[in-house]
Structure 1
Amino acid sequence: MLQTQFLAVDPVLVAAFAAVLVLTALLADYARMLWMRRRLPPGPFPWPIVGNHFQTPATRPWITWEKWAQYYRTPMLTIWIGRHPRIILCDAWVASDLLEKRSDIFSSRPRLIVMGDAINTTTTNQTVLPYGDRWRVHRKLMHAAVGSQAIRNYRSFQADESKLLIRDLMVDPNDFELSIERYSVSTTSIVGWGRRINSKNDYVAQQALKMMEAVNFVVPGVFLMEAIPAMLQLPAWLYSLPHTLHMGSAIIARYFYMLTEESLGTRCGQEAFGKYMLDEQKKMEEKKEKNKNGQGLSDLEVAGLMGNLIGGGVDTTSSTMLSCILAMACFPDVQRKAQQEMDAVVGRDRSPTWADLDENRLPYLTALVKEVLRWRTVTVLAGIPHANTQPVEYQGYHFQANTNFTGNMWAIHRHPRDFPQPDDFRPERFLDGHADQRPYPNARGSNPFGWGRRQCSGQPLAEQGLRYSLGRMIWAFDILPGLDDQGQNVKLDIFAYTESENTRPEAFKARFVPRSDTIRQLVLEEAAEAREALRIYDGDTKLSVDDAAPNPCLV
C-alpha cells in the first residue's frame, strides 16, 4: 500500500518541477548574456531568448543602427539576435583594423540560420562557407571567371552590350530600368554560359533577379527564426517557412546546374565559365576516387558558384547604374563637369574607348564611379557578416570566437569625418590632391565591395563594366528628371530606395536626351555593329524552373 502511494506521481508536481528547471535554465542563460555584455561594445539592453529582435526594425535597420551608434557614441554597436551578440561596425577605421589588418582571423562566417542552414548553403556556397580549405577551393574556381586577368578577355562583348544599352536608352527611355537589367545580366550570362540575354523580360534574367532576393535573409530582425534557431526543426504543418525555403532553394539550384549542362550544347558555351566548372568537377571527382581522403565538387556547389556569378552581376551593376542616373538628374553640375572632361578628351565625333580608361585620361569619370559606389552602396550591410576564428581583445572589449561582425555601410560611407555632407554627390572626394579628399584606411577611399579576404569576388568585373558603360552614358546624353502630366520636371527623391539589403532606387522617371545629332547617329551605327558582333552568343535555353521541380534535391 505504501509502495503504491510512493510510486504515484502528482502530475502537478512534475509540471512544477519541469517549470522550475526551464526557468532556471533561462535565468542561467540570461545571466550568461549579461555577463558577456559587460565586455562588449554598448548597445540596447537585450531581453531573454529573443535579445533585441523586437527592438530592431524589420525594414532598413541600418538607419536605426546608425542612430544608435551615435546615441551610444561608439564605432561598434552590440545588438543581440536571440542569445548571441552581433557587432555592428559603423566606422571605417575600426572595420579596417579588424577585417583587413587582421584578416587571418576575421575572414570566416558566423552561423547563419536563414541565409545558411534553411537554404542548405552553409557548407556548399562560397558566400557563407567558413574560412578554410573548402572556401579556398571555391574562391580559386570563381577567380578563373572574374579575376583581374580573366576580365580583360570580356572587354569586347562588354563594350558591345554597352553600345546596345545606350541605344535602348535613346529609343525606349521609359524602360530604362529593364534595359539596364538586361545589359547587366547579359554580360554576366556570356561569361557564365556563353549565352547573351536579348530580351528585357528574359526568363534566365528573371530567375537571377529572384535568386538575389535571398540576400534579405541576412538582415537581422527580419526572421524570428534567426533569434530562435530551434524553429528550423519545427514540422512543416506547424511552421512552413523552413520547408518552403529549403525546397525553393533546391529547385533554383537544380535549375542553374541544368542550365550549365545545357550550355555545353552551344558553340560559345564550350568556352564559358560553366564548361570550366563542369570540367573541374569531373577532375575533382576523379581525384576523390583515387584518393579516398580527397573532396569532390557536388552539383549543389557548382550550382551555387554559377548562381553567385550571375546573381552578383545583376544587382551590383544594375543598382549602381540606376543610382548614377538618379545622381546625374539630381546633381546637374556634376554631370556637366563629367561631360566637359568627355568633350575635352573624347569629343563628340567618337565614343569613349578602353584606351581612354586605361591611360587615365578621364580621372573625373573614375572618381564619379567611385562616388556612386560610396554615395549609395548597393550592399548596404556589406554583404555577408564576418566572424573571428579565435577570441580577440580590441579596444578593451572581448569578442569570443565566431562572433558575428556586420558592416553598416550606410553609416560608414556617410560618416561626416570621412565624407563631409555625405548626401551630396561629389566625385572630388576621390580626386588625388583635391581639397575634398580625406584620409581613409585604404588607398581606394571606400569599401563598397567589403574587406579583406572576403571582398566580393566580382569587384574587377563590376568596376570594369561600370566605368565603360557609365562613361558612354554620360558622353551620349543629358540625363534629366522625367516629366509629369503637366510637362514639368518631376521632383526626384535621393532617399527613395528599396528596403532590400541590396538596395536600389525606387522607380523614378528620367530622360535621356542625346547631346548632339552626331552622337545620336554614332549611337545607332555602333549599336548596329555591336548587334552583329554579338550574334555568336545568341544561343537560347529551353529550360524553365518547372523542369527542375520534379527532383529538387541535389546531392
Structure 2
Amino acid sequence: MISTILASVGFAVALSYLGLVFPRLMQEWKLHAHRSGLPPGPKAIKSGISKPWIWFRELNQQYGDVVYLQMGPTPTIVLGSAQAAWDLLEKRGAKFSSRPRFIVGGELLSGGMRGLMAPYAPFWRRWRKLLHSGFMQRQSETYRPIQSLESKVLMHDLVQSPARFRTHLERYAASVIVVVTYGRRVEDVETDIVVRRNAESMDRLTQVNIPGKYAVERYPALKYIPSIFAPWKAEVLRQKQKDIQLYTELMDEVRERRAKGTLPECFAKHCLDEQAKLGIPDLEVAYAAGSPFGAGVETSSGSIASFLLACVRFGPRFIPQAQAELDRVVGRDRLPTFEDLPLMPYVKAVASETLRWRPIAVLGGTPHASTADDVYKGMFIPKGSTIIAPLWSIHLNESDFPEPHEFRPERFTEPRQYPGTFGHSAFGWGRRICPGMHLGSASVELNIARILWGFDVAPAKDASGKDVDVDIFAFSDGFNSSPLPFECSITPRSQQHVRVVEREYQDALKSLKTYTAVANRVT
C-alpha cells in the first residue's frame, strides 16, 4: 500500500516537473530557431542594480529602440522610443496587454489581488471596470472641487513654512487621494496612521518590483523555499498581512459610515455599490479600493517636487513667461482655477514638460507581457516576453526631445510629431494606461499654475549668500523615482498674493469640514 502511494506521489511529481520543464524546453527551442531574428542585445545581463533604467537607456543608445535580454528563462524586450512603445503596446494591444508573472510582488506580497500586476484575464477586467468607472475623465472632473480645496491648503502651507515644501506636497497628494477614495481627510501627513501604513506598503511594493532584483523571478522554484531559510520571503509575507489588515479596516470604516449616512461620495462607496453586481468578494473589493490610494500619492507629490527642482535649476528660462501669462489671464486678486487652464497654454506646457523631464514612473509603469508571437520591423518577439518601456529611455530619447535633460516647456507649444494625444508617455499605453491619469494630470497642472502665480521659486542661499546648487540627477531608487531632498527658496510674489492665499484658505477649511470629522477604525 505504502509503495503504491509513494509511486503515485512520484508520478504526480514527475508530471508536475514535466509541466514546468516541457514548456520551457519548447520556449528555448523556439528562441534557438529564431535566434537570428531576435532584436539585438547584450550577451551579459546585469542583475541586482539599484537603478536599472539607467542601464536600459545605455542599452537603447547602443542597440536601438528594441533591445532583447534573456533574463533567466524569460525573454525580455526593452523599448527605447515612443514610437516603438506606441506601435506595440497601443496598436497591438491585443497581444501586448498582459503582465509577466510577478512572483514576489504579485503572488507572495499581494496574493494575486492587485489588478496592476494581474494578467489579462477576468480578474483584471473586473478590476479595470471598477477603476475606469471611478476615474474616467467625466467622473474625475467631479473630484476637482476637492483638488482645488486641498490645493488652497497647500498654498497656505507654503506661505507659512516654505522650507517644509516636501511635507506639504505629500500632505496635499495624500489628502486628495484619501478623500477621493475613502471620503476622509489627511491633516498631518507625518502622524496620520493610514498614510504611514500605506507609505510602508507602497515602499515595499515598489522595492520588490524592480526588474532583476530577485532571483526567484528568474527561477520560480525558489518561491517554495521555507520562510525560515529565506528572510526576504518572510519580510514580504509579513507585509502582506499588514496590507490586508489596512485595506479591510478602511473598508469596514467605509461600510460603517455608509450605514450611518455620513459617507460622502467616494471611490470606495462606488466599489461597494458595484460589488454585488460584479460578484466581487470582500478582499478583492478592499484591494481594488486601495489601488488609487497606493499609486497616487508618490506620483503626484513627486511630480510637483520635480517641477520645483526644475525651477531652481532652469527657472529664469521659463518662470517669467509663465507668470506673465498668469497675470494676463488671472490677475492678482484670485487664485487660478481649472477653468483658467485652457487659456494658459504655456503654463500647461510647463506641466507637460515636468512630466516628460523627470517621470516618476521611471520604468514606464508595470511591465507588459506578450500573449502571442509577433514580428516588429523584422524582429521576432516571442510569446511570453516581458515588455519594458522605461520612460527614462523614451522621454530622454534625443530624436523626440533634443537636449533631453534641459527643461524646455516650448517643446509642448511648438508643432511636432509624437504618438498619442499628450505629447509625452507619462501615463502609459493602450489597455494598461493609467486609470488615474485625469486626476493626476489635473493635480499637477493646477498646483503648478498656483505656485507660479503666488511664488517666486529660486535657489536657496548658503551662509555666505551664494546659491545652493542642486543635483538634477539625484533621484530615489525603486519602481517609482522621486527627487531626493533638496533646498529651494519659495517666497510670495507680493503681500497681495499672500492676502488672496489666506482668504482662499479660510474659505477652503469651511468646505473641508465634511471630510475631517470621521470615525477612525484604523490603528
Output the TM-score relative to the length of structure 1.
0.85
Could you tell me how far 1:86 is from its partner in structure 2? 0.8
1:481-500 correspondence to structure 2 within 5 Å: 481-500=459-478
State the distance in 2 between where 1:28 and 1:273 align: 45
Structure 2 residue 457 is matched with structure 1 residue 507:
no
Contact 1:254-1:300 at 8 Å conserved across structures: no
Q: Which residue does the alignment assign to 1:100?
A: 90
Could you tell me how far 1:115 is from its partner in structure 2? 2.0
Q: Which residue does the alignment assign to 1:6?
A: none
State the distance in 1 between where 2:173 and 2:262 align: 18
1:65-84 correspondence to structure 2 within 5 Å: 65-72=56-63, 74-84=64-74
Q: Which residue does the alignment assign to 1:275?
A: 269
Q: Which residue does the alignment assign to 1:378?
A: 360
Could you tell me how far 1:402 is from its partner in structure 2? 2.1
Contact 2:75-2:384 at 8 Å conserved across structures: no
Cα distance change, pair 80–268 in 1 and its aligned pair in 2 (3 A): farther
Cα distance change, pair 392–32 in 1 and its aligned pair in 2 (3 A): closer
1:88-487 correspondence to structure 2 within 5 Å: 88-122=78-112, 124-201=113-190, 202-213=192-203, 214-266=205-257, 268-284=262-278, 296-332=279-315, 333-357=317-341, 360-431=342-413, 434=414, 437-487=415-465
Could you tell me how far 1:68 is from its partner in structure 2? 1.9
State the distance in 2 between where 1:355 and 1:482 align: 33
Bigger mean CA deviation after superposition, 454-463 or 194-203: 194-203
Cα distance change, pair 58–543 in 1 and its aligned pair in 2 (3 A): farther
Could you tell me how far 1:541 is from its partner in structure 2? 5.2
Question: In the alignment, residue 263 of structure 1 is paired with which amino acid?
Answer: V
Could you tell me how far 1:217 is from its partner in structure 2? 2.2
Could you tell me how far 1:251 is from its partner in structure 2? 2.2
Could you tell me how far 1:37 is from its partner in structure 2? 4.2
Could you tell me how far 1:35 is from its partner in structure 2? 5.1
Question: In the alignment, residue 286 of structure 2 is paired with which amino acid?
Answer: A
State the distance in 2 between where 1:254 and 1:37 align: 48
- Measured against aligned partners, the alpha-carbon deviations of 1:353-389 in whole angstroms (never above 9, x if no partner) come to 22212xx211001111111000001101111111122
Could you tell me how far 1:270 is from its partner in structure 2? 4.8
- Measured against aligned partners, the alpha-carbon deviations of 1:99-119 in whole angstroms (never above 9, x if no partner) come to 111112211112122221222
State the distance in 2 between where 1:540 and 1:36 align: 61
Contact 2:322-2:347 at 8 Å conserved across structures: yes
Higher helix share: 2
Secondary structure in 2 matching 1:115:
helix
Question: In the alignment, residue 280 of structure 1 is paired with which amino acid?
Answer: E
Cα distance change, pair 130–26 in 1 and its aligned pair in 2 (3 A): closer
User: Please, what is the CA RMSD of the aligned residues?
Assistant: 2.1
Cα distance change, pair 95–29 in 1 and its aligned pair in 2 (3 A): closer
Bigger mean CA deviation after superposition, 112-121 or 253-262: 112-121
Question: In the alignment, residue 438 of structure 2 is paired with which amino acid?
Answer: P
Could you tell me how far 1:133 is from its partner in structure 2? 3.0
Contact 2:396-2:404 at 8 Å conserved across structures: yes
5+ unaligned residues in a row in structure 1: which ranges? Answer: 1-24, 47-51, 285-295, 546-555
5+ unaligned residues in a row in structure 2: which ranges? Answer: 1-22
Could you tell me how far 1:36 is from its partner in structure 2? 5.4
State the distance in 1 between where 2:175 and 2:403 align: 36
Contact 2:78-2:387 at 8 Å conserved across structures: yes
Bigger mean CA deviation after superposition, 392-401 or 229-238: 392-401
Cα distance change, pair 257–144 in 1 and its aligned pair in 2 (3 A): farther
- Measured against aligned partners, the alpha-carbon deviations of 1:474-511 in whole angstroms (never above 9, x if no partner) come to 10000112232334321011111111221111000112
Secondary structure in 2 matching 1:219:
coil
Bigger mean CA deviation after superposition, 217-226 or 365-374: 217-226
Cα distance change, pair 470–268 in 1 and its aligned pair in 2 (3 A): farther
Bigger mean CA deviation after superposition, 406-415 or 202-211: 202-211
State the distance in 1 between where 2:399 and 2:219 align: 38
State the distance in 2 between where 1:29 and 1:94 align: 24
Q: Percent identity?
A: 35
- Measured against aligned partners, the alpha-carbon deviations of 1:419-476 in whole angstroms (never above 9, x if no partner) come to 0010111111111xx2xx4311223211001011100000011111221111111100
Could you tell me which of 539, 542, 549 is aligned with 2:517? 539
Q: Which residue does the alignment assign to 1:21?
A: none
Q: Which residue does the alignment assign to 2:3?
A: none
Could you tell me which of 41, 44, 47 is aligned with 1:43? 41
Structure with max Cα Rg:
1
State the distance in 2 between where 1:155 and 1:409 align: 28
Bigger mean CA deviation after superposition, 252-261 or 316-325: 252-261
State the distance in 1 between where 2:27 and 2:333 align: 71
Could you tell me how far 1:544 is from its partner in structure 2? 4.3
Question: In the alignment, residue 479 of structure 1 is paired with which amino acid?
Answer: V
Contact 2:373-2:383 at 8 Å conserved across structures: yes
Could you tell me which of 77, 87, 92 is aligned with 2:77? 87
State the distance in 2 between where 1:353 and 1:30 align: 57
State the distance in 1 between where 2:271 and 2:421 align: 34
Contact 1:370-1:430 at 8 Å conserved across structures: yes
Secondary structure in 2 matching 1:79:
strand
Q: Which residue does the alignment assign to 1:524?
A: 502
Size of the aligned set, in residue pairs, is: 495
State the distance in 2 between where 1:41 and 1:541 align: 56
Cα distance change, pair 178–496 in 1 and its aligned pair in 2 (3 A): same
Bigger mean CA deviation after superposition, 207-216 or 445-454: 207-216
Secondary structure in 1 matching 2:388:
strand
Contact 2:74-2:384 at 8 Å conserved across structures: no
Question: In the alignment, residue 140 of structure 1 is paired with which amino acid?
Answer: K
Cα distance change, pair 181–472 in 1 and its aligned pair in 2 (3 A): same
Secondary structure in 1 matching 2:223:
helix
Q: Which residue does the alignment assign to 2:5?
A: none
State the distance in 2 between where 1:501 and 1:346 align: 38
Contact 1:126-1:139 at 8 Å conserved across structures: yes
Could you tell me how far 1:221 is from its partner in structure 2? 2.1
Output the TM-score relative to the length of structure 2.
0.90
Contact 2:48-2:214 at 8 Å conserved across structures: no
State the distance in 2 between where 1:324 and 1:121 align: 36
